[in-house]
Every structure is written in C-alpha cells, then in structure tokens.
Amino acid sequence: MRLKNNLAEALRHKDILLMTHIVLGYPSFEANREVVAQMVESGVDLIEMQIPFSEPMADGPVIIKANQDSLARGTKVRQCLEFAAEMIATHAIPFLFMTYYNILFKYGEEEFFADAAAIGIQGFIIPDLPPEEGGAFLERAKKYDIAPILIFAPTSTDERMRVLAAAADGFIYCVARRGVTGSQTSFDEAFYQYIARCRECAGLPLAVGFGICDRQDVDAIRGRAEIAVIGSEMIRLVDEKGASAVGPFISGLR
C-alpha cells in the first residue's frame, strides 16, 4: 500500500519519523491550518487528524476536552473531510484520519472510504474496531488503498499481536503504556522488552505513542521504532502558547 511505501522512502533519509496529532476544529479550523503548516515546515513526516467524537475512549483529558470543545463549536464530519482535502492538496506528506467507528457507521462506511480515498487520505486509525468485527472495513481498506492502522498495547499477548499485525498495513501503533493518552511514559526496561515483542510480532514499521513529550522521549525510542507520535503535548502547547509555538517545538525534537 502507498502509506507503507511512503514511509519506507522517508526512512531512507531519517532514522526516526515524527507523527503529530490534531483534533479537527480545535481550537478552530483556522488554528488547525496554521498548526499543520508549522508542523510540515518544521519536518513532521505524517499527521494524524482526529475527527471529533463524543466518547473518545482511548483518549485522556487533554484530547477529550479538545473533542468536546470542537463538537460544541459545531464541527461536522463533512467539514473535516473538506479541511483534510485542503491540507492534502497543500502539503506533500501522508495524512491519516483517526476517529471512532460510530463516525464511519453513521456516515456510511463505504461512502466514508470512498470520500477519504478521493481526497488522498492514506490511513485510518479506529481504536474501537477490532479486526474480528471489521471484516468489511478491512476489505474496503484494500479496495481503496487506505492502510488500516491497528494497535498493540503492553497487555497484548504475542498471539494477539500476530493477529493484529496480519490485518494491519502501513504501520503498527504501539501504545507505550497502559491507560489513555496524555500521561508521562516511563521508558524503562519493561518498556524496551515490550517494544522488542512488538518488533518480533509485527512485520511492519512501529510507531510509539502515548506520553512522547520532548526530544529525550524521541531519543528513547530511536533505533527501536520507526515513528514517534506526539499527540496530547501538541494540544497542550497550542493551548498554552498558541499555534506559533509549534514550529520551534517540532524543530527541537530531532
């Protein structure tokens, strides 16, 4: 698939890639536009755009609040698609959608895939859709060349990891610790043993997220994973310092 190929090409030039996260419509689409531009100009390699949902169960308080505020401002799925189309036409890096399955179900799964493919989305991250319940989803992912990104957790057995990896494409999202997004992660021996298990079971590039906050964290996974994911920290930064702080922050991560 094209996402896997694009990552392989990027990794020819960098020892670790950066993936950042935004919640669409938070604090506004205008701010999203400025943040994405700064991310790309500062060297981000791919961007995960979250379509807001009322019950984002994998997310911590920072991203939950961003989802709630975006929805309170009236953000619609169609607006998210239109914004994504603009970003993909403007910036030459892969863009992914992250959301929850109810969004696809309500919109119409086939229509959502078709519309996302038409604008150039390269991957979907749907945390609440296990492969056992996503047969049609996985078939459509192949049909539309949109990578289904599946998730490993520290609680995943080796057997479960292999099942997930067999259904995934693009990369595997490795949750760095138990719990939800936003809290600090301890990069200790137990973490490294977990990442070693992920590597053995995956057969795809590994992205590590949940608690990546600074260059020290990125360095902790360099050589062990291909992608560092910065999510809640980006939203905190924009909340506290404004969109103009994003570029310098990203530039300091590598």
Nearest CA among 46, 50, 29, 42 for reference residue 232: 50
Which residues carry out catalysis?
48, 59
Q: What CA–CA distance (Å, rounded) separates 68 from 6?
A: 33
pLDDT tens-digit readout, 88-121: 999 999 999 999 999 999 999 999 999 999 999 9
CB atoms within 10 A of CB 88: 18
Average pLDDT over residues 209-222: 90
Predicted confidence at residue 185, as pLDDT, reads 52
Number of domains in the chain: 1
Mean pLDDT of the chain: 93
Structure confidence at residue 180 (pLDDT)? 43
pTM for the whole thing?
0.94
- What is the pLDDT averaged over residues 2-12? 96
Look-up of token digits 């259904």: 167
CATH at residue 55: 3.20.20.70
Domain extent at residue 238: 2-251
Residues in Cβ contact with 166 at an 8 Å cutoff, skipping those fewer than 6 apart: none
Nearest one of 200, 169, 180, 215 to 18, comparing CA atoms: 215
Most confident of 65-74, 179-188, 206-215: 65-74
More confident residue, 55 or 97: 97
Share of the chain above pLDDT 90, in %: 86
CB 66 within 8 A of CB 52: yes
The mean pLDDT value for 45-72 works out to 93
